[in-house]
């Protein structure tokens, strides 16, 4: 699955799943633009990826919840590499709580980053993709967006909304040779999940038929497939990369 000659932009690329995605896309031959709210970390990540893979990479500041910042992020990629072939909407946050305790602020910020953020980046990138009549958009949703989860009404709503956005844009943009798909990760070993209570981690493993957490590279490999020419006739799909958890 070569991505030679392609340019990929990845949000939330400085750590965890986002960094793994940027690394795998570069390993497959793409030049990458790493976006993050922490500009120094984005630039450091890009420099490390470039050194490790020999591909061109740059880091750009982006607050995906802000439309102008998202637009500036895509413009940064176009200035550096002249085109954008692949957009991966990975940036996301959680503010978990029971519905009676979720504040309006915690509801709004999760929706703004996870759902509106993807909308902002899609809107910014669609015009150049339409002009070149080629594009791959991959949205990182969650098994929680498919099944729901107690204590995560805001997060689940944002991730379910991403699925609706994915399917709608797939229908809207297909005639311009732009595919739009989503990956729904289950529990993945990252800095965030490392800090979960052991009881919760044990329960998640028990609910996963493969009996383990996934690795960030598992998600990245699925993204690379959707971004490749081998997936050129696939659009509007949600691929669960969750060890079978969504079946439970």
Instruction: Report, as residue numbers or ranges, the catalytic residues.
Output: 155
Mind spelling out the 3-state secondary structure of the chain? CCCCCCEEEEECCCCHHHHHHHHHHHHCCCEEEEEECCHHHHHHHHHHHHHHHCCCEEEEECCCCCHHHHHHHHHHHHHHHCCCCEEEECCCCCCCECCCCCCHHHHHHHHHHHHHHHHHHHHHHHHHHHHHCCEEEEEECCHHHHHCCCCEHHHHHHHHHHHHHHHHHHHHHHHHCEEEEEEEECCECCHHHHCCCHHHHHHHHHCCCCCCCECHHHHHHHHHHHHCHHHCCCCCCEEEECCCHHHC
Alpha carbon 51 to chain centroid, angstroms: 23
Q: Are 86 and 8 in contact (CB under 8 A)?
A: yes
Cα distance from N-terminal residue to C-terminal residue, the chain: 31
Return d(Cα 105, Cα 93) in angstroms, integer: 13
Token readout for 98 is 């029971």
Among 63, 76, 150, which Cα is nearest to 109's? 63
């Amino acid at each position: 699955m070569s991505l030679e000659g392609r340019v990929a932009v990845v949000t939330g690329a400085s750590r965890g799943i986002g960094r793994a995605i940027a690394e795998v896309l570069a390993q497959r031959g793409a030049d990458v633009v790493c976006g993050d709210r922490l500009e120094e970390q984005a630039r450091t990540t890009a420099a490390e990826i470039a050194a490790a893979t020999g591909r061109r990479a740059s880091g750009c500041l982006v607050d995906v919840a802000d439309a102008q910042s998202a637009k500036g992020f895509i413009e940064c990629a176009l200035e550096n590499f002249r085109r954008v072939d692949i957009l991966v909407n990975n940036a996301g946050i959680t503010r978990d709580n029971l519905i009676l305790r979720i504040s309006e602020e915690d509801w709004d910020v999760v929706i703004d980053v996870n759902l509106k953020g993807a909308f902002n980046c899609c809107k910014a990138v669609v015009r150049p993709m339409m002009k070149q009549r080629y594009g791959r958009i991959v949205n990182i949703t969650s098994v929680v967006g498919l099944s729901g989860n107690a204590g995560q009404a805001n997060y689940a709503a944002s991730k379910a909304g991403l699925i609706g956005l994915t399917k709608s844009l797939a229908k809207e943009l297909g005639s311009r040779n732009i595919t739009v798909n989503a990956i729904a990760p289950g529990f993945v070993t990252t800095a965030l999940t490392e800090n979960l209570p052991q009881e919760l981690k044990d329960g998640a493993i028990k609910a996963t038929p493969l009996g383990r957490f996934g690795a960030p590279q598992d998600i990245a490999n699925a993204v690379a497939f959707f971004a490749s020419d081998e997936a050129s006739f696939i659009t509007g799909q949600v691929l669960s990369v969750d060890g079978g958890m969504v079946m439970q």
